[in-house]
Structures are given as structure tokens and as C-alpha cells.
Structure 1
Amino acid sequence: MLKDIFGQAWEAMLYNRRRTTITMVGMAWGIATVVLLLAYGAGFTRAIEAIFSQWGTNIIGVFPGRTSEQAGGDKAGVQVRLTQEDIDRIVAAVPGINHISPMAFKDVTVQNDLHSYTWTVNGTRAVFQDIWKLDTDSGRFFNATEEQQRAHVCVIGSEAKTKLFSGQWAIGQTIRLNGVHFIIVGVLTPKMQEGEDSDRNRQIYIPFSTMSDLTDTKYLGGLWFNYQGNYQLIEQNVRATLASAHHFRPSDHNAIYVANLLTQLHQFSILSMALQILLAFVGTLTLGIAGIGLMNIMLVAVQQRTREIGIEKALGAQRKHILTQFLSEAMVITGVGGFCGVGLAYLISVLVGRIPFYSEIALHAQDADIQLIISPISVVVATIILVLTGLVSGMIPAIRAANLDPIEALRYE
């Protein structure tokens, strides 16, 4: 029975090739739009994640501030000063921390025999490489032994290497930091950098113990750590621990500044989700327009085949048979158009390739550009929208055909 019904639907489509083709093109364009918009939304989300993942997402930085609330007998406006004892407090009181490092930084004169610049030098522990994902392009990062020995070794950024040594080999060369000699043991892989003014790839890293040769390290410029667990709970525990030690309220966010990358990523994720919902809605509206075209075509088909419907009913065809016949014709058009539309979307995604996004404003940021990669989830969502559109668009003409009075239909000219 179904074979005969679909056979009739196929014959009717072949009889009106031009009309059927135009309708299929509309459906194909609609479904391609849905799939591509969903792919763009997913690509935008991946681009945001790539920007954050270059540093690692499960990391938190803590920096000293000034209190803005009274706590006990202490007035507001007290400067909070972090020390290495705070690192021990955090490790003892906050579970889930993997690596933690103090940080001291200072802008100093960086020189070799030919060049002189003023760049930022960071004093950290060796584990800072794991915390901030500082991969080396050549050489290595300094190790814990060199930190204990207060070794005068350093790791330089990729741009610092280019400016100091051009194309020459930098490992083993000596540079002067405020007149103090340091041996280069590693050159870092370039990070994403927003314009020439950013010094992200010009910074230099030395052991924290050696940093005391350049500046006073009694009070920390900040500290960084990576962790496992709930990012909000970790931040709360850190604030509570330092608040107890430095006599400020945990709710006083000006006393210490906490840079929680997962909090920022979560905020961007909400925006990305809203964008994907908006794009899916726009795509659905586009497909809905194609569905209206399908509905109009099917209504015309019902009108043109009114006499045929009357004959079928006179020969014993039931209401459900007529309903299935026209609904199947609409679904065949929808299915073929949808299949072609998904294929068109894949073709466009391959031809378009990478869409410049962050790389337009940042260097070394090709990984953060948008890729129109069509996921199976996008195809499934688009297919569901397509089926619903086809059912709604085909159901109204099919119901109208099924409700025709056979006597009136046979009189129709």
C-alpha cells in the first residue's frame, strides 16, 4: 500500500518537474542555511575556547589590592601584601591545587652586544611552565634545581629572541638584565598576541629565587596555580584563606583580585550559547519560508487534482489514503531537498574553510579563527527542524485534499 502511495507521489512530482525542482531548491537552501548557521555558532564557540586554552583554563591568579570594607577593628583602604607564607597557607587549606608559583615582575633593561630594550622580567618557579602552558620552541624551561641554586638562567619569548638575535641561535647566549648576566636556556613558542604593542611574546622568565637580584621579592606581585575541582569553590576557599590571614572580609573583592579563567570562559560560553540559539532561530525562519513555498505548491497541486481525488474517493479510497498520498508527496520533496541541502552545506564549508576571526586583530592566532566544521549534532538538529517544517507544510494541503467531498470533486473542471 505504502509502495503504491509513494509511487503515485513520485509520478506526480515527475509530471510537474519544474514546480517540484523549484520547491526542492527552496528546501535545500533552507536546510543548508540552518546547517551552516549552526556550524558557524559551533565554530565561534571553539574559537573562544582556543583563545583561553592557549594558557590553560583551570588556572587562577591572585594579586594584592586594597581593602574597601571595614573588617573588625581595621579600617578600609589597607594595602594587602602577599608573601610566600600565603602560598603555604593556600596549599594547606585549599584542596585540589596541582602546582602553585609566586610571581614577581619588573620592567628592566635587556641588553646584548648589539641591542638594548626595556622589557618585563618575571620571576617564577619552574612549575610555572605547567601552570601557564609555556611550551618551548627551542631549548627548555629552567628547572627546580636551578631555582634552588639561584642560577642566572632565563627563558625568553619568541619576539624577544627575534629582536635580540634575529635569525641567529639564541640558546646558550648571554644577555644582561639590568646589567646582571643571564644565560638563555630556552625560547618560548609564540602565543596569541593582540597587535605589536602587546609584550606577551617579549617577556622573559627567570627563577624566582634569582629575581631578588633585580627587585625586592619579600612581597609578591601575585601568585598563580592550576587545580582540579569546582572553579567557584576553589576561588571561595582562596578568598577565605587569605581573608583570615590578612584580616579582610572574603566578600571584599578589592582586597585581592582573583583572575579565574574558567569564570571568564563561562561568561563567554553563555554568550556563545545565546548566539547559537539566535542563529538556529534565524535558520528556522529561513527554512520556514521555504516551507511556506512548499505549502503553496501543494495547495496548487490539490486544486489541480481535485477531479482525480474525486475519482479515487468514488472508487473506495478512504480519507486516510488521500491524506497519506499528499503528505508523502510533500515529505518526498522535503527529504530530497534536505539531502541536497546538507550536501550543499558540506560543500560550502569545505570551500569557505577558515573564516578570519581573532587573527584579524592578533598575531599567531590562526587557531582561534572560525572553522565551519559541521558536526553530527548540527545535522540532527537541522533534520528535526526540516521534518517538522515538511510535516506542517504538507499537512494543511493534505487535510484539505482528504476533506474534499467526492461529488463536488467529480464536478470540478
Structure 2
Amino acid sequence: MADISIDGLTKKFDDVTAVDDIDLEIGDEEFLVLVGPSGCGKSTTLRMIAGLESITSGELRIGGRRVNDLPPKERSIAMVFQNYALYPHMTGAENMKFGMKSVSDYTDDEIDERVEEAAEILDIPELLDRRPRELSGGERQRVAIGRALVREPEVFLLDEPLSNLDAKLRVQMRAELLQLHQELDATTLYVTHDQTEAMTLGDRVAVLNDGHIEQVDPPQVLYDYPETRFVAEFIGSPAMNVLPVDLKYDSDGVRAVHGAFDLSLPDGERFTDRPPAAAFGVRPEDVSLAANAPDDAQTFEAEVSVTEPLGESLLIHCYVGSDELHVKAEARSAINPGDTLELAVDEQRLHVFDDAGRAIYHSSKREEAASDTVYTTPEP
């Protein structure tokens, strides 16, 4: 078993708290992604798990064993860094072997065999005799991953390993990392600032902000039911529209009132709190032209400021009153700056956040099975 248990983990640098009392459980063989903006504490968390940073307070267990004070080589982990960390004077094979003697009792022949096996898995046998300067960025990354593979660790830690690659190669490497995880069945903790990587790679995703964990959930649950305004605006591209509204409560339910619209919110009894004002959230793909909405849809007007053709869709920047609203419309729609549009929202995809940024309402009910998802190791 190589589950990871984090209880009250905290890291302080003098007066700065980089990681603040976080709790997190990572299941055996799970692929969990830590995602957040620069400076949120995700790499520091990873380095504490690896043993590269001391822990100020809290407890860290790997496979049930407390590892707070253990050196990295005794934690059965392997780490892949953002900058590859390859020695320029060594060949690919020599880089993959480096350090094996200090962390294992394998003979030279056994280490050579492990290098060959890792190279086959990563499809890089022809790169073993080349030095880093002779390799492309993607090839260097494969060698760096191979160096982690030869150790056969129980836990893989990856710190933004694809950030130095171009867009096309990142897509290819994401698929390869997923396939590699499925083949190895190792517990994997992956750090990134790229929410697309987080959504496509993780069994679950933990969103960090300012040293705190905002939410941990499977990717689709995270997208559909953000627990905070930060998660709502960080996950998704373009980000969720969030506009200030007044909330009106009467016998007919709850209405979100803005200078440009007055929308009834379905199932208003679901409101966990009843503040007089809040932030109204709707994703760009959940706003449509009124002509494409049901006949009984609530509509409002918006003025177009900019249009962005994205190929598969048209992203429209509008203004409703003084607030900007993004709308995803069909590609090749005949819409131009200055046009006035009649819009409607999908009433089953609405969100409301209080002044503290907590979600107090989702118009579609979050299924209990989805909201309480706990990763369990699949049966062999």
C-alpha cells in the first residue's frame, strides 16, 4: 500500500506561511493533481512529501508509516522536476542510473536491466547513448521520467513536468503519462498550474489557493459544483461569469436581480443562506442566444464588445449594464461588435456565492454519490 495521509501540514518561511494546515488523503494507486496559481503552495507541499523541505508542523504518512523526519531515499518516492535536472555530461542511460547505487542494493547488471525496461516502456531505447544537448524537450522529459521509473517507487511525484513543452507535445505527453500510470499502478501526485492538465489527468483534483485547499473532487464534480468562487473562476476556460446581484425572496421563490436582468432561480428552497446580495455565476457555455433557448426561457439583453473565433465556437464578450459577460455561441455566427443580443441562461446550470466566496446555491442538485466520491483501488 502506498496511500498518502496529510494531517495539518504546515510550512512557514520566517513570517510567511506557504502551506497552512492542510489535510489530504491520497488513495493507493490514485492519480491526484494539485492545481493552483503561482505561489499557492503546491510545489512546497510536494517538496515536503518528497523530503526536500522540512515540515513546520503536521503529520505526513506514506503507506501508513510516519515519514516526517525520514530522508528522501527512505520514503520510496521518485520525483520528476520541471527543469528535467539531467546532467549534461552524462548519456541518457547514465542519467537514468545515477543515484541507484545509493538507494538500492541492485547489482550493475540489474540496474542495466531496469534501465532497458524503462526505456522500452517510454519508447526511448535509441536515446540511451545520447547526451541531453542531443535531445529535444520531450525526449529529455522521457529520460527524466525514466530515471524515476528505474527505482520502482511506491509514489511518483511530478512537479509541473510538461510546462517547458510546446502545446502539441504537452497534449501527447498527457496521454502518455495517463497510459504510464495505468501500466504501473503507482500512487501519483502531480503538481501543475494548468487547469486543463488537472482536469484531463487526475482521478481527483485538489485546488490550492494561498496555502489552503479550496476543494478536492473528481474533475467533473469540481467543474459542475465548485464549492467556492475561487474554484469556479479558476477551473474552466474561459472562466465562469460571476456578476453582483441582489437576492429577492418571496412566496414564489428567489430571484437574482441585476441592473440588466431579473432571473427566477429554480428550487430556491435549496439556498443554504439568505443574504440580501451575492455573486451570480454561470459558465459561458451555459449562456445562449434566446433564439436557441426554450420558448419559456427568461431572457435579457447584452451589448457585444468583442468577438473571438475559436474554431469550434465563437466566444462573445458582452456587457450587461457595466459588467462583462462571456458567451459561447456556435462557430460562424453572424455577430459583430456593437450588436445587441437577446440572451438566455440554462436554468439548471446556475450558481450563487456569498460575500465570503462560498457557494450557497447550485440550481442542479449535486448527487450524493458524486459529492462524496472517495477514490478506491480497483479490483485486479
Q: Does the alignment reach a TM-score above 0.5? A: no
Determine which structure has more spread, i.e. the larger CA radius of gyration.
1
TM-score w.r.t. length of structure 2: 0.21
Higher helix proportion: 1
Flag the structure with more relative contact order, 1 or 2, with Cα contacts below 8 A and sequence separation at least 6. Answer: 1
TM-score w.r.t. length of structure 1: 0.20
Higher strand proportion: 2
